[in-house]
Amino acid sequence: MGRLCSRIALRLKGKHKADYSPHVDMGDHIVVVHADKIAVTGNKLDDKMYHHHTGRMGGLKSIALGKLLKEHPERAIQFAVKGMLPKTTLGRQMFRKLHVFAGDKHPHTAQQPKPLEL
């Protein structure tokens, strides 16, 4: 999962292009299908935790990677890629160009996406 997400983040930033500029959003739109077939090694399914806070007192929510992959497999890729992008408005613009789907069906067939060999 990590190698896939780092390649996706590189494409979203536009670093693969010859005219790359860090202050300009030059990346491509990325459509990821079959997110439910993600594989991780070691004990990450049980040990890796994702946390978020609701804003209320005692509102820290945690979910393990194994449970996240069962319920929402696309979110695991989204969390990993979002952590690799800049934490600025430019990074949020880049993240909007990522589209992740658990199965093989997606609404972007009209844009004729090309498969990316990693």
The domains of the chain, with CATH numbers, are 2-108 (3.90.1180.10)
pLDDT value of residue 2: 92
Residues 6+ away with beta carbon under 8 Å from 36? 69, 73, 102, 103
pTM of the model: 0.91
Q: Would you state the pLDDT for residue 118?
A: 79
Positions in the chain short of pLDDT 70: none
Question: Which pLDDT value is given to residue 72?
Answer: 96
Tokens of 100: 């992740």
